Structure 1
């Protein structure tokens, strides 16, 4: 897999590139936001599987770079940041990041997250149009499963790949509690325990984007369930 590493510190980049190379990655190093955007331009180049984006860049804010990347491509983006607060993580997800890693991080954690975001369902990789879109309607919320569109009161709400997968999973059985382990297994396709914090952030992001804080209910010690919204409330 080709991986775009966006990191302005050459020493950090060299050490990380060596580790990634040992695990089978072909690393392309960009030292700034502009270099990263230029690396994504050649149409004839082999595609990248993942972008590993450090937020502390010399020329542009990492969040700004993430937004520009997402406008150009659907390549999974993992943010690397020292900001551990939930608000910063939600902001990154809203801009289109697929995941984040907080510094200092364990190399095993980073590799697990890279492999997790790189996994895609066949339906996500194919661009063929569905013959008929399956739609789940819950009050003012509409979830088009085949086209992967979500609308609230008829207005489309952009979601990241994992946010949509999480919502679609919970919408299969509204009111039924999904265990955290089950959600992580089906959405992130891993049993790795460290993904739990990522799940919490994605739930918070869904509540924020859909403007429905009560839509996804936390069942303490168990997991989450989707509470069907009531029209007019």
Structure 2
């Protein structure tokens, strides 16, 4: 049974989300305080963390940053704030997804299942004894070790940034639209919200270019999508 940590200060919302997750055979631990939620996240083992951004005692962004510095557990940020800047900030801190309120409990369950399944496949793929390398131009991707190198410089990517970069690098010279990338990387249909793809592409580009990569390695094809160029 998968263990979920739910950090949410509004009890009614927390209990509703817990009920839907438990119906789907998940064990849910609720923390309504940010500091206690962070302590629980770092001190216990969970398969996924659902983290509200607007907590009374500390910012969910700060909690996310602290968790990501210690663990690779999937993190889903939840907030009533719909501004793109909040999504950019949250995903930039290493969150795997950003869900805006109000949302249906069934959508939450679907996203949780998708992230759990993807993380489980990732863990299994890392059990091999010999790392698989993908070399494209002057970029080397260690698919098993989850590391990226440009020349001899290592570039640190978040889980979803690395997944997206691998997907594009394995399929060069083809244009993928935002909806296709969202479905491939996040494991669900975009349902009209593809801004997370835009944010991740932007962060990948910034990191590549800061290490000297060609600005057109990942090219925007206006009105169509993105292409990884050989």
TM-score (norm 1): 0.82
> Which residue does 1:138 correspond to in 2?
137
Q: Note the C-alpha offset of 1:68.
A: 1.0
Q: 1:34 to 1:145 in 2, by over 3 A?
A: same
> Which residue does 2:49 correspond to in 1?
51
Structure 2 unaligned residues grouped into runs of 5+:
none
Q: Note the C-alpha offset of 1:41.
A: 4.3
Q: Note the C-alpha offset of 1:16.
A: 2.3
Q: Note the C-alpha offset of 1:222.
A: 3.8
Q: 1:154 to 1:94 in 2, by over 3 A?
A: farther
Residue 227 (str. 1) matches residue 226 (str. 2): no
Q: 1:108 to 1:42 in 2, by over 3 A?
A: same
> Which residue does 2:74 correspond to in 1?
76
> Which residue does 2:217 correspond to in 1?
215
Any idea what SS the aligned residue of 2:220 has?
A: strand
Q: Note the C-alpha offset of 1:90.
A: 2.1
Identify which range, 68-77 or 80-89, moves more after superposition: 80-89
> Which residue does 1:31 correspond to in 2?
32
Structure 1 unaligned residues grouped into runs of 5+:
229-233
Q: Between Structure 1 and Structure 2, which shows a larger proportion of helix residues?
A: 2
Distance 2:55 2:224 in 1: 39
8 Å Cα contact 2:76/2:99 also seen in 1 = yes
Q: 1:51 to 1:123 in 2, by over 3 A?
A: closer
Deviations 1:108-152 (A, max 9, x none): 32222111211126662145364244131324x332223221123
Q: How does 1:179-194 map to 2 (within 5 A)?
A: 179-180=177-178, 182-191=180-189, 193-194=191-192
Any idea what SS the aligned residue of 2:118 has?
A: coil
- RMSD between superposed Cα atoms in Å: 2.5
Any idea what SS the aligned residue of 1:40 has?
A: helix
Q: 1:194 to 1:113 in 2, by over 3 A?
A: farther
Deviations 1:46-70 (A, max 9, x none): x322100001112221111001111
